[in-house]
A and B are shown apart, each in its own frame.
Chain A
Amino acid sequence: MPPLSTTEYNEYLTNLLRGNRSACTRTVEKLLEHNIPVYELYLGLFQPSLYDVGRLWERNEISVAVEHLATAITESLLTLVYPILFRTERVGKKAVISCVTHEYHQIGAKMAADAFELNGWDSYFLGANTPVSDLIELVDQTQPDIVGLSLAVYSHVPQLNDAIEQLRSTFPGANVLVGGQAFRSDGARMIKRYRGVEYVPSVLELDGMITEATGNGR
């Protein structure tokens, strides 16, 4: 199938901004029927459309209600991918993915959790605004190979610090990855302050890291 055309993308974005859930669903169903690769759907449709919605909100061209509705619709569209996602053969590895406390933007984290599933890992997705105690409890229960933390809003860096410190003190050997929109300007530099924490700039790079971790039995 050819990549999504500009016209198709714009039509989808318009429907998203109008809150037309069924039209957006039809677009995604059609793409899935044509076997669009999951990452192409995430990075070619969901991610750019949400970035565009965010930019329109920043420029005060749409209300926060429209932005929230677009996010809610995208969240429901992600479920259409699940039948593909969860049928991948399991490789016996686990990841816990979570947003930090007070972080309510969870779609990026969910896409990251989905990348693990696509690679046959079992991902435990904790979602938005997760208290550190819940995160520590789940890590203790599941003993994952990787813990992923997502941060979309820069002002939540103190909560990220707290989560990383508690993870480090409770599970000194844990492999911790972080990513999200909060790091887009100087993420790599910011992350240097944390010992043993890796920064993941995008879902595609995360996929590469997962492939490597799957192969070397980390």
Chain B
Amino acid sequence: MGVRSRNSAIEQFVFDESSVFLLVTDRGGTVRRANSYAQRITGERLVGRNLRDILIGFSPHQDLESVIAQQSTRHVLDITVPGGFPRTFSFRFVDCEEEILVLGEQPNEDNDLLHANLLGLNQEAGNLNRMLQKQNAELERLNELKNRFIGTAAHDLRNPLGAIRNLSEALSRDARAAGRDEEIEILDAVHESSSFMLSLVEDLLSVATIDSGEIRLDFETSDMNELVSSNVKLNQILACERGVELCVRRNELVREVRVDRAKIQQVLNNLISNAIKFSPRDSVVSISVACADEAITLSVEDAGPGIAPEEISKLFKPFSRTSTQATDGGPSTGLGLYIAKRIVDAHGGTIWAESEPGVRTTFHVSLPLAPDS
């Protein structure tokens, strides 16, 4: 290989492989050759394009001859990068008679600054991560403390509240027998309030157990039609009081399912009693069971006032109450649906609600036929 061809090969190698931005243009600034680094940076074919389209704010007709005249001067210019931020290079323009060699290097100080900033950001991210994890641990500790407090308080309140409720009921019976109307009114109010407080305490105990991660499921094979029927029987008294008809659509195809019977009864009881409480007199609450390949779905539909779409997502959060009132205006603990969701979640199932305000609301519970437990 002769000296000329060897130099040419070296030149070609440097042109192709070096990590500097290299262009060869004609005297008017139109690119004749571009090295692979330049192509890679711009992501586009450069040959045939003019420098004014590549270098931001550069006007070849005005600037090119003057910059060629100062060969050793560096010009800091930005390159347009399609779909990205412009990249800054330090350019020199070298006069090669008919052609101009445009040589761009990334300023070292920029790289150093970038490097230092990235390191600083990494440290900052690490420190924030540490702070976040520490605060999470602190929140977990506080949550545990809260659960323990609620659990203890609720447990200690349950027995005296039960006694108040039962005694007020007994006294109310005596008052009725004796026809003491004033006493009946007072004792009924005591009975109603203590019943509500007792249900609140029961719910709080369930929440404390669930939130502390102590929810235990005792799975057993259960007939879902039978579970629904027995729960409907339990709610029949409430339905009669409110003048609501309970209609069960049994599904004989439904297979048996492995669930914690007591906990699923708790879910069913919540959904059915809620549906009764929110139904107008002389309406129907429908309870149905459907079965697909891998899941069984229970649905409870009422003809109550419904739930506004923006309130649906709040339904399963603790202590959340919607603007919808029970038909008799009675109080709600705001915990029942949260507890139901946590029980269904623990079974690997899903609970959701659909509502047409003013027409109907349906709650669905889907449970896997073969839970992971």
> B118-130, CB under 8 A of A: which get 1 and which 0?
0110111011011
Residues B134 and A83 in contact, CB atoms below 8 Å apart? no
Knowing A65-B115, A68-B115, A68-B119, the reply to whether A76 touches B137 (Cβ < 8 A) is: no
A212 at interface (Cβ–Cβ under 8 A)?
no
A206 to chain B, nearest CB (A): 18
Contacts of B143 in A (CB 8 A): none
Q: Which of A80-139 contact B (CB under 8 A)?
A: 82-83, 86-87, 90, 104, 106, 110, 117, 122, 125, 127-128
Closest chain A residue, CB of each to CB of B140? A87
Question: Residue A125 contacts which of B115, B127, B136, B137 (CB distance < 8 angstroms)?
Answer: B127
Contacts of B124 in A (CB 8 A): 127
Question: Residue B126 contacts which of A75, A87, A104 (CB distance < 8 angstroms)?
Answer: A75
How far is it, in angstroms, between the C-alpha of A72 and the C-alpha of B129 when the chains are bound? 14
Residues B133 and A79 in contact, CB atoms below 8 Å apart? yes
Contacts of B176 in A (CB 8 A): none
How far is it, in angstroms, between the C-alpha of A127 and the C-alpha of B136 when the chains are bound? 20
Q: Hey, which bits of chain B sit against chain A, CB under 8 A?
A: 115, 119-120, 122-124, 126-127, 129-131, 133-134, 136-138, 140-141
Contacts of A87 in B (CB 8 A): 137, 140
A31 at interface (Cβ–Cβ under 8 A)?
no
Closest chain A residue, CB of each to CB of B122? A72
B332 to chain A, nearest CB (A): 36
Residue from B123, B127, B134 having most chain A Cβ neighbours under 10 A: B123
Closest chain B residue, CB of each to CB of A113? B130
A78 at interface (Cβ–Cβ under 8 A)?
yes
Contacts of A106 in B (CB 8 A): 123, 127
Question: Residue A75 contacts which of B115, B123, B131, B141 (CB distance < 8 angstroms)?
Answer: B123
How far is it, in angstroms, between the C-alpha of A120 and the C-alpha of B122 when the chains are bound? 27
Residues A86 and B127 in contact, CB atoms below 8 Å apart? no
Knowing A68-B115, A68-B119, the reply to whether A76 touches B126 (Cβ < 8 A) is: yes
Closest chain A residue, CB of each to CB of B126? A75
Contacts of A71 in B (CB 8 A): 119
How far is it, in angstroms, between the C-alpha of A86 and the C-alpha of B136 when the chains are bound? 9
13 intermolecular pairs with C-beta atoms under 8 Å apart: A65-B115, A72-B119, A76-B126, A78-B126, A82-B130, A83-B133, A86-B137, A90-B141, A104-B123, A106-B123, A110-B127, A125-B127, A128-B120
Contacts of A110 in B (CB 8 A): 126-127, 130
Contacts of A79 in B (CB 8 A): 126, 129-130, 133
- List the 5 closest pairs (A to B, CB-CB), nearest first: A86-B137, A82-B133, A75-B126, A72-B122, A127-B127
Contacts of B141 in A (CB 8 A): 90
Residues A86 and B126 in contact, CB atoms below 8 Å apart? no
A105 to chain B, nearest CB (A): 10
| Supplied contacts A65-B115, A79-B133, 12 more A-B pairs, CB within 8 Å | A68-B115, A75-B123, A76-B126, A79-B130, A82-B130, A82-B137, A86-B134, A104-B119, A106-B123, A110-B127, A117-B134, A127-B127
Closest chain A residue, CB of each to CB of B128? A127
B145 to chain A, nearest CB (A): 11
Contacts of A122 in B (CB 8 A): 134
How far is it, in angstroms, between the C-alpha of A87 and the C-alpha of B137 when the chains are bound? 6
Closest chain B residue, CB of each to CB of A88? B137
B220 to chain A, nearest CB (A): 35
Contacts of A117 in B (CB 8 A): 134
How far is it, in angstroms, between the C-alpha of A104 and the C-alpha of B127 when the chains are bound? 13
Contacts of B138 in A (CB 8 A): 86
B141 to chain A, nearest CB (A): 7
How far is it, in angstroms, between the C-alpha of A83 and the C-alpha of B130 when the chains are bound? 10
Closest chain B residue, CB of each to CB of A129? B120
Closest chain A residue, CB of each to CB of B131? A125
How far is it, in angstroms, between the C-alpha of A82 and the C-alpha of B35 when the chains are bound? 49
Question: Residue B123 contacts which of A83, A86, A90, A127 (CB distance < 8 angstroms)?
Answer: A127
How far is it, in angstroms, between the C-alpha of A83 and the C-alpha of B115 when the chains are bound? 30
How far is it, in angstroms, between the C-alpha of A125 and the C-alpha of B130 when the chains are bound? 9
B19 to chain A, nearest CB (A): 15
Contacts of B137 in A (CB 8 A): 82-83, 86-87
Contacts of B119 in A (CB 8 A): 68, 71-72, 104
Closest chain B residue, CB of each to CB of A78? B126
Closest chain B residue, CB of each to CB of A90? B141
B219 to chain A, nearest CB (A): 30
How far is it, in angstroms, between the C-alpha of A78 and the C-alpha of B127 when the chains are bound? 10
Residues B133 and A75 in contact, CB atoms below 8 Å apart? no
B56 to chain A, nearest CB (A): 29
Question: Residue A128 contacts which of B123, B130, B140 (CB distance < 8 angstroms)?
Answer: B123
Contacts of A68 in B (CB 8 A): 115, 119
Residues B115 and A86 in contact, CB atoms below 8 Å apart? no
A104 to chain B, nearest CB (A): 8
Closest chain B residue, CB of each to CB of A79? B129
Contacts of B122 in A (CB 8 A): 72, 75-76
Closest chain A residue, CB of each to CB of B136? A86
B270 to chain A, nearest CB (A): 34
